[in-house]
Structure 1
Amino acid sequence: MNTLLLFFVCMVVLVIQRTQSEVLHCSGGWVQQCNLDANHKIHCICVPTTPTWTPWGEWTSCTVTCGEGNHTRYRSCIGPRNGKCVGPTEDTQTCAGMTLCPGTWGNWGAYKECSQTCGGGLQIRSRNCSAENGSFCVGDSISVSTCNTQICPGPGVWGKWSAYTDCSKTCGGGLRTRSRNCSAESGSFCIGDSLQSATCNTQKCPGPVDGVWSAWGSFGACSVTCGTGIRFRTRSCSNPAPTNGGSDCSGHSEDAVICTEQLCPVDGGWSEWSGYSHCSVTCGNGFKIRRRTCTNPQPSGGGADCVGVNEQGLLCTKQACPVDGGWSVWSDYKQCSVSCGGGHRLRHRSCDNPPPSYGGQDCPGNSTESEMCNISPCPDWSTWGTYSACSKSCGAGFRYRFRTCPVQNKTLCIGLNYQYASCDLGACSEPFG
């Protein structure tokens, strides 16, 4: 076991070239494994009795000198012939070059207008650099060329140089330019250049700087004036800010907490109408009611009550109700049956106030009523007078007698005031022929 441990730590492989008759002695449970080379020499090593990986070797150089590439390390499987170790023989990982890869220039743009119409001027063209954050392109982004070199008709006077423009790069070497104007009569020119360029920011570009968060600011006001809202606070990735391709800050620039202010006024809202109740009557005309409540929502926090009514009525009609009959008022009494001596008179009423209907009861009692009348005694007739003479002097005839009623109202006396009787004074004689 000590020999095996020494093998893995020191990565020593014992290779001994021996003649065919020579013998290699292995210890610690290892065995000899030999191969014959082209010169008929035997190469022997001590190997473990089971397939075993050697320790990983050193990493190879990165496949790139800038940007991102790969590097690899290897190991070997040793042990009995035809034995196999479990796992790969190589391990590959990504690696970064020593520097950022330079960017790539785009095509040159067209030259701008010449700075002079004659006497030699300058014209500029530019190109753009496509590079990763913090990287740069090798070379200049601005190219200056002479133009309109023909001689001008006469000399002019230069104005003052303008201030230099901003540098085309912040580091790694760029260009800045300045210009001046020529004051000359028509057809004349100024001697010299109207445009000058100079290198700038030649210092080496620094490496990437990762951003770091600033301290949190104070929480702002609550987002609502009543109820539940949110308060925010912020921080910025500026301590320092990421530069030259450095990483942005990890995390959020904004933080929030819940805030609760005074209760908001909530105006009441009506619930849905309930269904209508049963009709208030079982027959005839009635009404039914539906209701709603001010609970959707209930007014709170000083909110207004619901506007409107909480009940609504609706007429309803059932089957006709039984109507019991009712008596009309009594009529006046009719004329007495006699004018004196006690009689009766009647009065009537009708069961029509209202008449019985839809199974209602008839009127109780009688429809007629009588009472005594003219109960004073009737006056007596005088005695009968004597009969009158017979109405005929012969043959059958009749005769009358009369009596008188002693009161002025003759109708109070009962009976007739006359009587008649037959009379016959004998056969009448025949006249003589």
Structure 2
Amino acid sequence: MAVPWANLFPFLLVVFWCSGHLETLAEDVLCYEKFDDTTGTCSDLLGGGVRLEDCCLNRQYGFRQAVGGQCRACRAAKWSEWSPWSPCSVSCTEGVQRRSRMCQGVNEGDCVEGKREWEMRSCLLQDCCPVPGGWSAWSAWSHCSVTCLKGVQTRKRTCTSPAPVCGGTCEGNGEERQPCDTRQICPTHGNWGNWGNWESCPATCTLEGSGQKPQKRRRRLCNNPSPSTAPPGNHCQGSDLDHQECVGLPYCPQNGNWGSWKVTSPCSVTCGVGRVVEKRQCDNPAPKHGGMKCQGEDVRHRPCVTGQPCPVDGRWLAWSNWGKCEWLGLGTGIHCQEIPGLQSRRRRCVGKAHNGKSCDGKISESRTCYNIEFCSLPGSWSNWSPWSLCEPPCGPNPVKTRQRDCKPQYPNYPMMVEGENGVMQDVHFWGRPLPSCEKLQGQSLKVEERAPCLNVPPCEEG
């Protein structure tokens, strides 16, 4: 008996994907314990040189193919969160903003890994653009800043001729300075500042029985104040250098050195890739006489591969559309009438693997409804909708749109009815009615306006 190709296609597709996927998974990667869906970044490095198929036994993990490379998720591919909106393309009048999202994950999922989507919208930070002002005339020069020797004098002007508009400014400085000479002499005699701190001893240790002790020293500066040069002031009297014997020096130290690493814990996980702990002792040799302890860490973590896949929980696909609103299977018996019917919808749980959890919740649901499919109803025009995103988000001549729709005026049917179990239930209108409105701008159902998006920057690469 011949087997239909349609029945074999899903099996052939899985074999083809798995064979191609396993070929990709043969490479060694940097394996990370955490992957952030929002930022697309990896954290908690388990180690390098891990086979990709081993790292992705746990689909909550992430990996990099090279140091500094892009972080990728092991789980089924899905869209990341939208990035924040970019700054407005102009600081005044109308401009645009863009944002994007990426498809992340190496396993088959809701989108194609690496694909990027863009959105663009209009923005307005300030209605007007800055207009610069003009400077007033300079004021007279001020008095000299000192009463002897040389100083400075200043003059000022204001940005008021005319004043700037909408946050504008005047180009240039509002103050000028020039040197001035009082032609008066001010001699200054020098005086010592405070002694500085003692310098470190020239030796850090001493040989036992040598009998010689090094000396440390300290300095002071003639700067409290410094003597003037024109006319010359008197220099400070005495020495600027002081000495003192170093006392209590220890014996010369012997630095420590590390012993070998030793494993001290089992693998931290039972599936995927985990960590083992290794420790070492500073005993090869140990430090003596104040010698330096060993530099670096005495504990480190290394990756360990269990070879066992981790559980993958199932996830719901989107609900199907609501089915037809019917009563006892008779699709036309309640059409356009005040008779409640029933309708249902379903969803599928996919992706469960390796003893993962099934999806929580119901696989199907039903609700009470009125069937108004293609029923003629009076209508009224809606208000203008908000402006849409700019389309295309990256390309020439993007535009935005808004619209008004002819909305149906639903019948005044009861919106709650008593169910079979005696509990009151909400009733929903189902179907696409045919509303009737007076014509608006020559249209019966929808009126649309289009406008260009202004001040659009060039598209980014990629």
Question: Shared topology, TM-score over 0.5?
Answer: no
Structure showing greater radius of gyration is 1
Structure with more relative contact order (C-alpha pairs < 8 Å, separation 6 or more): 2
- What TM-score do the two structures reach when normalised by structure 1? 0.25
- What TM-score do the two structures reach when normalised by structure 2? 0.24
